[in-house]
A and B are shown apart, each in its own frame.
Chain A
Amino acid sequence: MSVEAGFYGILALTILLILRVPVAMALIAVSFAGITAMIGAGPALGVLSNTPYSFVASWTMSAVPMFLLMGFIAFHTGLTGGLFEAAKVVLRRLPGGLAISSIFACSGFAAVSGSSLACAAAMGRIAIPEMVKAGYRPSIAAGCIAAGGTIGALIPPSILMIIYGVFAETSVTQVFVGGIGIGVLTALGYCLTILVICWLRPDLIPARISDEDAPPDWSAVFQVLPITVLVVLVFGGLFGGIITATEAGAVGALGTIILATLTGRMSWHALSRSLIETVTSTGSLFIIGVGAAMFTRFLGISGLSGFISSFVANADLSYAGLLLVIVLIYLILGTFMEPFGAMLITLPIFLPILRAEGISLVWFGVLVVKLLEIGMITPPVGMNVFVIKNVAGKYVTITQVFAGVIPFILMDLVIIFLVIALPGLVMFLPNLMK
Chain B
Amino acid sequence: MSRLVRIAMTISRGLALIGATGVLVMMLHICADVIARNLFRVSISVTAELVSRYYMVLTAFLPLAWLELRRDMVSVELIDFALPPLLLRISDVLVCLISAGVYSVLAYTTWGAAFSNYRSGTFVELVSFKLPVWHSFFLPPIGFTLAALACLIMAFDFARNGTASTQEFTR
Contacts and interface: CB of A to CB of B under 8 A. Distances in A.
Our verdict on whether A and B bind, yes or no, reads yes
B98 A254 contact: no
Contacts of A287: 60, 64, 67, 73
B145 interface: no
B115 to A, nearest CB: 11
24 contacts: A18-B78, A19-B94, A20-B76, A20-B79, A22-B95, A23-B74, A32-B105, A48-B105, A48-B110, A57-B56, A62-B51, A65-B56, A242-B38, A249-B30, A253-B27, A254-B28, A272-B20, A275-B20, A279-B16, A282-B23, A283-B72, A287-B60, A287-B64, A288-B74
Given A18-B76, A20-B95, A52 B106 contact: yes
A45 interface: yes
Contacts of B34: 242-243, 247, 250-251
Given A21-B98, A399-B81, A58 B76 contact: no
B96 to A, nearest CB: 10
Given A49-B109, A56-B57, 14 more contacts: A29-B102, A57-B53, A57-B56, A58-B52, A62-B56, A247-B33, A254-B31, A275-B24, A278-B20, A280-B63, A280-B70, A280-B72, A282-B59, A379-B78
Interface string A1-42: 000000000000000011111111100110010000000000
A282 B98 contact: no
Chain A, interface residues (CB within 8 Å), range? 35 or more
B78 A399 contact: yes
A288 B67 CA distance: 13
Interface of A: 17-25, 28-29, 32, 45-46, 48-50, 52-53, 56-59, 61-62, 65-66, 69, 242-243, 247, 249-251, 253-254, 272, 275-276, 278-280, 282-284, 286-288, 379-381, 383, 386, 389-390, 397-399
B90 to A, nearest CB: 11
B91 interface: yes
A69 B34 CA distance: 18
Given A49-B112, A53-B140, A62-B55, A279 B74 contact: no
Interface centre among B70, B76, B105, B140 (most CB of A within 10 A): B76
Contacts of B95: 19-22
Nearest to B35: A251
Contacts of B76: 17-18, 20, 23, 379-381, 398
A93 B128 CA distance: 63
Interface of B is mostly: helix
Interface in B87-105: 91, 94-95, 98-99, 101-102, 105
B77 A20 contact: yes
A247 B30 contact: yes
B31 A48 contact: no
A244 B63 CA distance: 28
Among all A-B residue pairs, the 10 with the closest Cβ atoms: A250-B30, A49-B109, A22-B73, A275-B20, A286-B60, A398-B77, A49-B113, A283-B63, A56-B60, A386-B74
Given A21-B95, A279-B19, A61 B105 contact: no
Contacts of A380: 76, 78
Nearest to B55: A62
A69 B101 CA distance: 32
Nearest to B22: A279
B76 to A, nearest CB: 5
Nearest to A387: B74
Nearest to B13: A276
Interface in B33-86: 33-34, 38, 48, 51-53, 55-57, 59-61, 63-64, 66-67, 70, 72-81
A65 B73 contact: no
Contacts of B136: 53, 57
A22 B74 contact: yes
A399 B83 CA distance: 14
A280 B26 CA distance: 16
B75 A20 contact: yes
A48 B106 contact: yes
Contacts of A280: 16, 63, 66-67, 70, 72
Contacts of A399: 77-78, 81
Nearest to A64: B56
Contacts of A272: 20
A133 to B, nearest CB: 23
A284 B74 contact: yes
A65 B78 contact: no
